Structure 1
Amino acid sequence: MKKWYKGDTHLHTTNSDGNMTPEKLISECKKIGLDYMIITDHNYNTIKKSRFDGDMLIIQGQELTDEPGHVNVWGAKVPHDPPHKLDTVEDYKKLIDASREAGATISLNHPFCSNCPFLLDKDEFKFDTVEVWNTVQHSDNLKNMEWWHEQLIKGNKIMAVGGSDHHRYYGPVSFLAVPTTYVLAEEKTADSILKAIREGRSVVTNSPKSSMIYLTVGSAQVGDTAKLSENDTAEITITKFKKGHKLVVYNNDKVIFTHTAEKNFKTWSAQFKIKEAGFIRAEIDYNLGPVSTRVVAFAERTFLGNRGVKKTNKTMPELFWAFTNPIWIE
């Protein structure tokens, strides 16, 4: 029977540019109750083989990092000795192809990152999933989301994940597992978790303790296909739905259902009609309103490398707090 497992798909240690040893990072992930974690040091296999530490699954991974962009390789040893300083784009492509042949799951990381965007043609690059949500929310994630949604509308079945890209704590502030990727898998094994990710059976939310979205059409859940002729009604349940947060449900390029929480809900549910074949997906959005750009500047300096933000007031755009992968509608 399938079960939801929560984890972080993008983590760094002292084996690359993180400031925690692998042992310390594993301990911290266990403290916050993760079911799985994927250590993805830059160009280095920290975890030689997926294994358990107590009840937590540690999945083998690596972030291939070079001029064309950053790509996470999960579940198989990259067939190349570090350091991976690749001379040409063709060398980069060959290494990723070899990783795939070795059984790896390939994730395209932060494709519209201001500092390190993905420079190859995404239409021609073969990948299993895309990291739509990278680390604490910032404007680059909105670009990732816009591109992903456009691909879905075009009929491209691209699966999405989130990853904290965790390197360190910032004083008392931790962004570990921000965001958290929930995966609906048959069992807690590396093969099962990664298979579910490739099939789009995942929901991304702000943290392990944040809102969770359960979207269904009859017995179909995220990653499944439902027939419109058999069932035109979808059901959604949200746990920890926060006051002021807005649910938005898309049916292809159309918004077919919205609801703004008028108070905090432990559990909230609704039903709505599906209009047409294609896909449906759900998203929870929120708006910080006017905030000091000292906060914005911190985020952009830390995660985007933008040191030119002036100390004036600025309104942040609407951000997303959680989102589902699609249910495909025939």
Structure 2
Amino acid sequence: MCDDHHDHGPGRRALLVSGAAAALTSGSVTFASAADGGQETRTVRGTLPPGSPDFVYLPVEVPAGVREIRVAYSYERPAVPAGTQGNALDIGIFDERGTGLGGKGFRGWSGGARREFFLRADTATPGYLPGPVREGTWHIALGPYTVAPQGLSYEITVTLVYGEPAPAVSPVYPPERAKGRGRAWYRGDCHLHSWYSDGRRTPAEIGALARAAGLDFINTSEHNTHAGHAHWADVAGDDLLVMLGEEVTTRNGHVVAVGTDPGTFVDWRYRARDNRYGRFARQIRRAGGLVVPAHPHATCIGCNWKFGFGEADAVEVWNGPYTADDEVSLADWDGMLAASVRDGRGWIPAMGSSDAHRDPDVVGRPQTVVLADDLTREAILDGIRAGRSYVAESSSVVLSFTAAGGRGRHAGIGERLDVAADAPVTVRLEVVGAPRCVVRLVTDQGVLHTAGPLPESGDGVVEWRTTPAYAAYVRAEVRHEAPAGPLPGPPAAFTNPIFLGRGADRTAAGAR
């Protein structure tokens, strides 16, 4: 075993690309020639200063005859003044095909969830793609998420194991159809994390929790990797549709790719100022998926959404346990609805997902309930895209929300009631499973009708009469009792809108 040490300061690095998401390359790690069996190890050390680019690439010269590559890393975490961010360093790897944007050479990413990983032809660490370790220049990708004032000192150890490669394994993906009930309401959670990124649950554990939560479908959404796609086939079944996706975690916000083709990788290495997000949003749709900005007003570093909503197919308004940033997201989304009516343009449906990672995170809290023609990937995505959905805190909460006009005209969630501006309209909400909750009917003018609290049984019916001239749309909120203070209580459920009056029916996707 060989253990070489190289110190690379900022002066030894060369600029690879320009722009806000610029990347630097550090001095390379070289393995001169293939060993006759056995393994070799190299260790490299360096320090990243404050203000480092988003990504730093460490080239690794890999000779022929390598069976397996292993990488381990560590970094210093010095004390920092109050109010100052300390060190946090993410890691991943690209193979000999390069680090170009789009990810042709992408072989895995674990962010800050792991301190070591390996990959070979037949298997790899969760978050990494198995496959041959071919000769050429590989790159370890470092992502300095935050850097302390003292700088970020790191150590990376690379080990190559020589020998004949193991037989490659062909991926098996979950089916795109489950045994549905025809046109019906289906419950799902589209934002989940397993141990294939920074979650702590296996796919099997998540599947069991999804079934216990009364879900009909889920969507995988690991941070910045699609390596888990081939590990969900055994979780799917007649009673559970498993769709595949990714949480694209940029430095200016996160977007969930929902229901993409198996094996689809979406790059995340850009900021809003780089003008690259649209390219990858379009890639998600070409792969059959939906573009869903996640937790747009979350306060964690890099979580706040800064790309705008022009490419969104839906927006995740409610993320996990309901908090103040969800309330801001809900209000912001309602403002976008009012603007879409005013400007005569497409609207963006709302969703809710758990973003569950580990205990005590609850899978299916909240969940999106979708009216779909069947329990298939295509039908579920069509329902979400059209806004035929509501969000509920659990499967115990069931809503029916309709609007009726004269001559038998009626419309449901995500639809338009096509009647004259002065035509009388009756809005009806039926609620099951929301004890002591208050109902609010929200329009482009704000909350125009409040009813409740509902009885201890949690069941009730609320009706309200209006006209399209008075309310261009109406949506329902079912809220728990409010704590002390000016804000309403957290929701048990809320719906997408029903539009009232004559006008174009366009979602954000349909308007493109």
SS in 1 for 2:441: strand
Q: Hey, what's the Cα distance between the residues in 2 that align with 1:252 and 1:49?
A: 45
Does the CA-based 8 Å contact 2:243-2:260 persist in structure 1?
A: no
Equivalent AA in structure 2 for residue 227 of structure 1:
D
Q: Hey, what's the Cα distance between the residues in 2 that align with 1:271 and 1:13?
A: 43
Please give the TM-score of this superposition, normalised by the length of structure 2.
0.55
Q: Residues 256 and 90 of structure 1: is their aligned pair in 2 closer, same or farther, counting only changes over 3 Å?
A: closer
CA shift for structure 1 position 87: 4.6
CA shift for structure 1 position 102: 2.3
Match of 1:237 among 430, 442, 452: 430
Q: Residues 262 and 12 of structure 1: is their aligned pair in 2 closer, same or farther, counting only changes over 3 Å?
A: closer
CA shift for structure 1 position 271: 2.0
Instruction: Spell out the pairing of 1:61-210 with structure 2 (5 A cutoff).
Output: 61-77=245-261, 81=265, 84=267, 86-87=269-270, 89-115=274-300, 116-123=302-309, 125-155=310-340, 157-170=347-360, 174-209=361-396
Q: Calculate percent identity across the aligned residue pairs.
A: 27
Q: Residues 168 and 101 of structure 1: is their aligned pair in 2 closer, same or farther, counting only changes over 3 Å?
A: same
Match of 2:204 in 1: 23
CA shift for structure 1 position 232: 1.1
1:5 aligns with 2:186: yes
Instruction: Spell out the pairing of 1:217-232 with structure 2 (5 A cutoff).
Output: 217-218=403-404, 219-229=410-420, 232=425
Q: Hey, what's the Cα distance between the residues in 1 that align with 2:299 and 2:412?
A: 34
CA shift for structure 1 position 77: 3.7
Deviations 1:298-329 (A, max 9, x none): xxxxxxxxxxxxxxxx9976322210000111
Does the CA-based 8 Å contact 1:79-1:99 persist in structure 2?
A: no
SS in 2 for 1:188: coil
Does the CA-based 8 Å contact 1:8-1:36 persist in structure 2?
A: yes
SS in 2 for 1:53: coil
Match of 1:212 in 2: 398
Does the CA-based 8 Å contact 2:264-2:287 persist in structure 1?
A: no
1:320 aligns with 2:491: yes
Q: Hey, what's the Cα distance between the residues in 2 that align with 1:10 and 1:204?
A: 13
Please give the TM-score of this superposition, normalised by the length of structure 1.
0.83
SS in 1 for 2:275: helix
CA shift for structure 1 position 55: 1.1
Larger radius of gyration: 2
Q: Hey, what's the Cα distance between the residues in 2 that align with 1:220 and 1:317?
A: 28
Q: Residues 273 and 206 of structure 1: is their aligned pair in 2 closer, same or farther, counting only changes over 3 Å?
A: same
Does the CA-based 8 Å contact 2:203-2:232 persist in structure 1?
A: no
CA shift for structure 1 position 50: 8.8
Q: Hey, what's the Cα distance between the residues in 1 that align with 2:268 and 2:413?
A: 38
SS in 2 for 1:203: strand
Q: Hey, what's the Cα distance between the residues in 1 that align with 2:482 and 2:475?
A: 23
Q: Residues 169 and 94 of structure 1: is their aligned pair in 2 closer, same or farther, counting only changes over 3 Å?
A: same
Which stretches of structure 1, 4 residues or longer, exceed 4 Å deviation after superposition?
A: 48-51, 78-82, 314-317
SS in 1 for 2:333: helix
Equivalent AA in structure 2 for residue 273 of structure 1:
R
CA shift for structure 1 position 121: 4.1
For structure 1, the residue ranges without an aligned partner over 5 or more in a row are 291-313
CA shift for structure 1 position 68: 2.2
Q: Hey, what's the Cα distance between the residues in 1 that align with 2:353 and 2:295?
A: 9
CA shift for structure 1 position 92: 3.7
Q: Hey, what's the Cα distance between the residues in 2 that align with 1:127 and 1:87?
A: 17
Q: Hey, what's the Cα distance between the residues in 1 that align with 2:488 and 2:428?
A: 28
Match of 2:224 among 37, 40, 43: 43
Match of 1:33 in 2: 214
SS in 2 for 1:265: coil
Deviations 1:232-290 (A, max 9, x none): 112110111312x2100023214332112252235311321123352110001224525
CA shift for structure 1 position 203: 0.7
Q: Hey, what's the Cα distance between the residues in 2 that align with 1:169 and 1:190?
A: 28
Match of 2:243 in 1: 59
Does the CA-based 8 Å contact 1:251-1:274 persist in structure 2?
A: no
Does the CA-based 8 Å contact 1:239-1:268 persist in structure 2?
A: yes
CA shift for structure 1 position 31: 2.4
1:246 aligns with 2:429: no
Q: Residues 87 and 249 of structure 1: is their aligned pair in 2 closer, same or farther, counting only changes over 3 Å?
A: closer
Does the CA-based 8 Å contact 2:353-2:368 persist in structure 1?
A: yes
Match of 1:276 in 2: 468
Does the CA-based 8 Å contact 1:181-1:204 persist in structure 2?
A: yes
SS in 2 for 1:47: helix
Equivalent AA in structure 2 for residue 169 of structure 1:
D
Does the CA-based 8 Å contact 1:3-1:185 persist in structure 2?
A: yes
Equivalent AA in structure 2 for residue 131 of structure 1:
E
Equivalent AA in structure 1 for residue 349 of structure 2:
M
CA shift for structure 1 position 79: 7.6
For structure 2, the residue ranges without an aligned partner over 5 or more in a row are 1-181, 341-345, 405-409, 502-512
Does the CA-based 8 Å contact 1:80-1:95 persist in structure 2?
A: no
Match of 1:329 in 2: 500
Q: Hey, what's the Cα distance between the residues in 2 that align with 1:153 and 1:81?
A: 35
Equivalent AA in structure 2 for residue 2 of structure 1:
R
Please tell me the root mean square deviation across aligned C-alpha atoms, in Å. Answer: 2.4
CA shift for structure 1 position 26: 1.2
Higher relative contact order by CA 8 Å / sep ≥ 6: 1 or 2?
A: 1
CA shift for structure 1 position 34: 1.0
